[in-house]
Amino acid sequence: MEPTLLLNASMLITMTTLIVPMLLPLLSQKFKNTPTTITRTIKTAFMISLVPMSLFMYSGMESIISHWEWKFIMNFKIPFSLKMDQYSMMFFPIALFVTWSILQFATWYMASEPYITKFFSYLLMFLIAMLTLTIANNMFLLFIGWEGVGIMSFLLIGWWQGRAEANTAALQAILYNRIGDIGLILSMAWLASHMNSWEIQQNFSTTQTPTLPLLGLILAATGKSAQFGLHPWLPAAMEGPTPVSALLHSSTMVVAGIFLLIRTHPMLTNNQTALSLCLCLGALSTLFAATCALTQNDIKKIIAFSTSSQLGLMMTTIGLNLPQLAFFHISTHAFFKAMLFLCSGSIIHNLNGEQDIRKMGGLQKPLPTTTSCLTIGNLALMGTPFLAGFYSKDLIIENLNTSYLNTWALLLTLLATMFTATYSLRMTLLVQTGYPRTLTISSMNENNPTITSPITRLALGSIMAGLLITSYITPVKTPPMTMPTLTKTAAITITILGIILALELATMTHTLTQPKQNTYLNFSSTLGYFNPLAHRLSSTKLLNNGQKIASHLIDLSWYKKMGPEGLADLQLMATKTSTIIHTGLIKTYLGTFALSILIILSTQTQN
Amino acid sequence: SEMSKDLLPGPYPRTPEERAAAAKKYNMRVEDYEPYPDDGFGYGDYPKLPDKSLHERDPWYQWDQPDMRHNWGEPMHWDFDMYIRNRVDTSPTPVPWHTMRKHFLVFLSTMLIMFGLGEIYPSYRPVGPKQYPFNDLYLEKGGDPNKEPPVVTHYEI
């Protein structure tokens, strides 16, 4: 069969397989979705999406297909075009694999949920939007996917909508993403007016691309991928159920911002200012998130901050002009991060809702599979040699060390790598080892294959994915081949230093007594004071001023000052000045007559 | 059915009797009742309650309306929609506001200054000018074979 046809057809069949459970219940009353059918759909779609991926790995074939054009204005084309290139063909199987595992896990985790089918349909809709974003060849389709994932994120974070904290978190996600969307729409407007096209292929220039659209794209990525400045929504998004955190806020949605920058990297390549901005922003995000993760006590928040930190690392890679490596890190990160979230979900459910790691401990005997996979996930995150994270993370650090870049960005990223090891080990030690600090009566078991098989599948992925991707995908840019031994082993040395730091701190908490608060602990545990400062200040000012403008300014000014009272005030002012003359004396009146006659005479005799 | 005329908000209370009547209308004590100043903005006799958000009210008390943390008949703040649990939180922070602001600005300014320094002094692998063998290719570049070539020192990085 002709390979191009096979490629295009299989990708389209994958998408169709996913859209079918959304459409069929609308068409007939007899067809109802169940969580099992949706999970099976995703599994089928995963199997089908392996075909184009293997075709790409074998022959390097990419394609762009264009179906239909929205004839909106005559000289601006908006085709419905899909790009099957390295990134989308690799992302499809990975996203579908991770989603399949998460949905299988969610059949157990959300089993007591009355609206479980709606939950699964929401997750499916999210996945469709995300894959649309991935496969889009123009900014219009990408924007549809972008907004789609934003909306589904809102609905899923606020799933338990009776909870005020969940509603606040969902609102935070929407608002911060909206600020990023301003940047995206700005870039789209600029592209439409200057390049007259929203196609990815047509938006490049040999000379330096102007910085304005790139700033817009970077703002969009800051919002969606929770870089420093627009980051608070990501830890707050942990209010949603754990499958939501695993799918959206670790593997797929938050990488949409980075994916946008990967797609538009020809524009970024020749603008060094934008690249340095990406580098510095990424370095700051990664360090800030790693610092905040050091003192968190909620297991999901620690994993959320580690996601934020890895996103900063991906942004740094973009700043080094290495989009393929950033995508590689996205792929490997999806595996172990989703696995970490699933393990934490298993632990939380088994401890009957306990999320505080200070109340966990000694879980290795009751939950062997979960804790082993948690360890594997943490090792992969730290970049242990030859697990998945090593192939992408070590390459990034090597490229950082051997490039011409901002020194402080380099130092921050290395420091963040060290902190990654520290907080991962802290989490592992407090959750799995030591004396159990859980409640004494807890029926913990992992006898259910719906828990163990997704987690073990993702563990297999965390171990093998890095090796597989490196073996089969040729790098586009020359990786650094030679470097001094210290540079080569920098990542692993720093990780070991971080592990030593964590072990030291762990023994310190047992032996020495520390004061409850000091400056650095306060800074780290309240997430850098960013949340209260930004949220309280901006919302109070906006709401107060909005109230004043709406009710006081508009009501007072338009209905009173512009109307009767304003007129009355003017009249009053005029009469107050003129009543001085109304004295009642003949002399005054004769004076005014004389004055007016003089004025008339003087003006008449002028001409 | 509609509220009767004496239950609706009215004009600014000028005499102490009007103040007492207004306080009774709003289910408040006369000592607590304080209307907004009469400056033409249309508040009337509505009480000026302290600007505290609903986050500060006890989450464990059995309120009549648990989501609003509000009891029946309690006077609501003029800007109550700003102080609900989805919006502004005025609860006291563990660290005072000015300390938070100072520490955050110190952190941010340090980062920005260090990034600026990092741009001025970037990190790169050590480089040197290109070195050629045979006395900098003296003969290949057309040098005189009879003359002594200039001395060239090479360095090793």
- Determine which of A83-87, A97-101, A434-438 has the lowest per-residue pLDDT on average: A434-438
Shared domain for A148 and A292, answered yes or no, is yes
Mean pLDDT of A434-455: 87
CA–CA distance, A419 with A505 (Å, rounded to integer): 12
Q: Write out chain B residues lying below 8 Å of A517, CB-based.
A: 94
- CA nearest A551 in B: which residue? B41
Per the structure block, which two tokens stand in for B137? 């290719």
CA–CA distance, A313 with A280 (Å, rounded to integer): 10
Question: Pick from A165, A407, A528: which is nearest to B118 by CB?
Answer: A407
Q: Write out chain B residues lying below 8 Å of A168, CB-based.
A: 85-86
Counting the structural domains of chain A, the total is 2
pLDDT in tens, A353-397: 889 998 888 899 889 999 999 999 999 999 998 888 899 999 999
CA–CA distance, B89 with A164 (Å, rounded to integer): 12
Q: List per-residue pLDDT tens for chain B, 157 residues long.
A: 788 888 888 889 999 999 999 999 999 999 999 999 887 777 888 999 999 999 999 999 999 999 889 999 899 998 888 899 988 888 888 888 999 999 999 999 999 999 999 999 998 888 888 888 777 777 777 767 777 777 777 877 6
Side-chain-side CA neighbours of A40 within 13 Å: the count stands at 6
Question: Pick from B87, B104, B114: which is nearest to A408 by CB?
Answer: B114
Q: Write out chain B residues lying below 8 Å of A276, CB-based.
A: 119
Q: Is the pLDDT of residue A607 over 70?
A: no
Per the structure block, which two tokens stand in for A372? 């082993």
Shared domain for A452 and A519, answered yes or no, is no
Q: Pick the closest to residue A210 from A258, A257, A268 (CA basis).
A: A268
Alpha-carbon distance A171 to nearest alpha carbon in chain B (angstroms): 8
Test B42 with A551 for CB contact under 8 angstroms. Answer: yes
Phi/psi of residue B66, nearest 5 degrees: -65, -35
The SS3 assignment for A159 reads: coil
Q: Is the pLDDT of residue A43 over 70?
A: yes
Question: Pick from A402, A409, A523: which is nearest to B118 by CB?
Answer: A409
pLDDT in tens, A293-314: 998 889 999 999 999 999 999 9
Alpha-carbon distance A402 to nearest alpha carbon in chain B (angstroms): 6
Amino acid symbol at A144: I
Question: Pick from B86, B100, B114: which is nearest to A529 by CB?
Answer: B100
Per the structure block, which two tokens stand in for A303? 């994993």
Test B82 with A284 for CB contact under 8 angstroms. Answer: no
Test A529 with B95 for CB contact under 8 angstroms. Answer: yes
SS3 for A204-240 is: CCCCCCCHHHHHHHHHHHHHHCCCCCCCCHHHHHHHC
E strand or H helix at A452:
helix A449-472
Amino acid symbol at A502: A
Q: Write out chain B residues lying below 8 Å of A165, CB-based.
A: 85
Mean pLDDT of A276-284: 94
| Residue from B57, B81, B86 to probe the interface with A (highest A Cβ count within 10 Å) | B86
In a domain, A470, yes or no: yes
Q: Pick the closest to residue B53 from B19, B102, B21, B92 (CA basis).
A: B92
Test A539 with B42 for CB contact under 8 angstroms. Answer: no
Alpha-carbon distance A333 to nearest alpha carbon in chain B (angstroms): 27
Chain A residues near any Cβ of chain B (below 8 Å):
164-165, 167-168, 171, 276, 280, 284, 402-410, 483, 517, 519, 522-523, 526, 528-530, 532-533, 535-536, 539-540, 543-544, 547, 551-552, 555-556
Test B121 with A407 for CB contact under 8 angstroms. Answer: yes
> According to DSSP H, which parts of A320-403 are helical?
323-350, 368-382, 388-401
Alpha-carbon distance B125 to nearest alpha carbon in chain A (angstroms): 6
Test B100 with A532 for CB contact under 8 angstroms. Answer: yes
CA–CA distance, A544 with A546 (Å, rounded to integer): 5
Question: Pick from A171, A276, A555: which is nearest to B42 by CB?
Answer: A555
Question: Pick from A164, A167, A556: which is nearest to B41 by CB?
Answer: A556
Contacts 24+ apart (CB under 8 A), A109-112: A109/A241, A109/A242, A109/A243, A109/A345, A109/A349, A110/A35, A110/A241, A110/A243
Shared domain for A526 and A390, answered yes or no, is no
Residues making up chain A, counted from first to last = 607
- CA nearest B52 in A: which residue? A540
Shared domain for A387 and A491, answered yes or no, is yes
Test B123 with A407 for CB contact under 8 angstroms. Answer: yes
Question: Pick from A167, A483, A540: which is nearest to B88 by CB?
Answer: A540
Residue-level pLDDT at A549 = 85
Q: Is the pLDDT of residue A463 over 70?
A: yes
Shared domain for A41 and A157, answered yes or no, is yes
R_g over Cα of chain B: 39
CA–CA distance, B95 with B102 (Å, rounded to integer): 11
Residue-level pLDDT at B157 = 67
Test A526 with B94 for CB contact under 8 angstroms. Answer: yes
pLDDT in tens, A131-141: 999 999 989 99
Shared domain for A374 and A521, answered yes or no, is no
Alpha-carbon distance A167 to nearest alpha carbon in chain B (angstroms): 7
ipTM of the complex: 0.86
The SS3 assignment for A405 reads: strand
Domain that holds residue A133: 3-513
| Percent share of chain B, pLDDT over 90 | 45
pLDDT in tens, A514-563: 777 788 888 888 887 888 888 998 989 999 898 888 877 787 777 777 77
- Bridge partners (DSSP) listed for residue A82: A65, A136
Q: Write out chain A residues lying below 8 Å of B156, CB-based.
A: none
The SS3 assignment for A297 reads: coil
Shared domain for A143 and A230, answered yes or no, is yes
Q: Write out chain B residues lying below 8 Å of A171, CB-based.
A: 86
- CA nearest B120 in A: which residue? A406
A479-to-A197, A402, A447, A493, B123 alpha-carbon distances in Å: 33, 10, 45, 21, 18
| Percent share of chain A, pLDDT over 70 | 99
Q: CB count, 10 Å around CB of B55?
A: 16
Shared domain for A416 and A547, answered yes or no, is no
Alpha-carbon distance A164 to nearest alpha carbon in chain B (angstroms): 6
- CA nearest A561 in B: which residue? B40
Shared domain for A533 and A496, answered yes or no, is no
pLDDT in tens, A419-430: 999 999 999 999
Shared domain for A476 and A526, answered yes or no, is no
CA–CA distance, B80 with B74 (Å, rounded to integer): 12
Whether the CB-CB separation of A22 and A128 falls below 8 Å is answered with yes
Alpha-carbon distance A538 to nearest alpha carbon in chain B (angstroms): 9
Whether the CB-CB separation of A364 and A371 falls below 8 Å is answered with yes
Q: Is the pLDDT of residue A440 over 90?
A: no
Whether the CB-CB separation of A221 and A180 falls below 8 Å is answered with yes
Per the structure block, which two tokens stand in for B64? 């009549």
Shared domain for A519 and A450, answered yes or no, is no
SS3 for chain B is: CCCCHHHCCCCCCCCHHHHHHHHHHCCCCCCCCCECCCCCCCCCCCECCCCCCHHHCCCCCCCCECCCCECCCCCCCCCHHHCCCCCCCCCCCCCCHHHHHHHHHHHHHHHHHHHHHHHHCCECCCCCCCCCHHHHHCCCCCCCCCCCCCCCCCCCC
Q: Write out chain A residues lying below 8 Å of B118, CB-based.
A: 280, 406-410
Q: Pick the closest to residue A316 from A337, A288, A292 (CA basis).
A: A288
In a domain, A283, yes or no: yes
Alpha-carbon distance B118 to nearest alpha carbon in chain A (angstroms): 5
The residue assigned the tokens 């040197």 is: B128
pLDDT in tens, A399-411: 999 988 899 999 9
Q: Write out chain A residues lying below 8 Å of B95, CB-based.
A: 522, 526, 529
- CA nearest A543 in B: which residue? B82
SS3 for A44-113 is: HHHHHHHHHHHHHHHHCCCEEEEEEEEEEECCEEEEEEEEECHHHHHHHHHHHHHHHHHHHHHHHHCCCC
CA–CA distance, A599 with A605 (Å, rounded to integer): 10
Residue-level pLDDT at B127 = 81
CA–CA distance, A502 with A506 (Å, rounded to integer): 6
Test B107 with A523 for CB contact under 8 angstroms. Answer: yes
Alpha-carbon distance A348 to nearest alpha carbon in chain B (angstroms): 24
Test B41 with A404 for CB contact under 8 angstroms. Answer: no
Test B79 with A544 for CB contact under 8 angstroms. Answer: yes
pLDDT in tens, A205-261: 778 888 999 999 999 999 999 999 899 999 999 999 999 999 998 888 888 999 999
Residue A339: pLDDT band by 50, 70, 90 thresholds?
A: very high
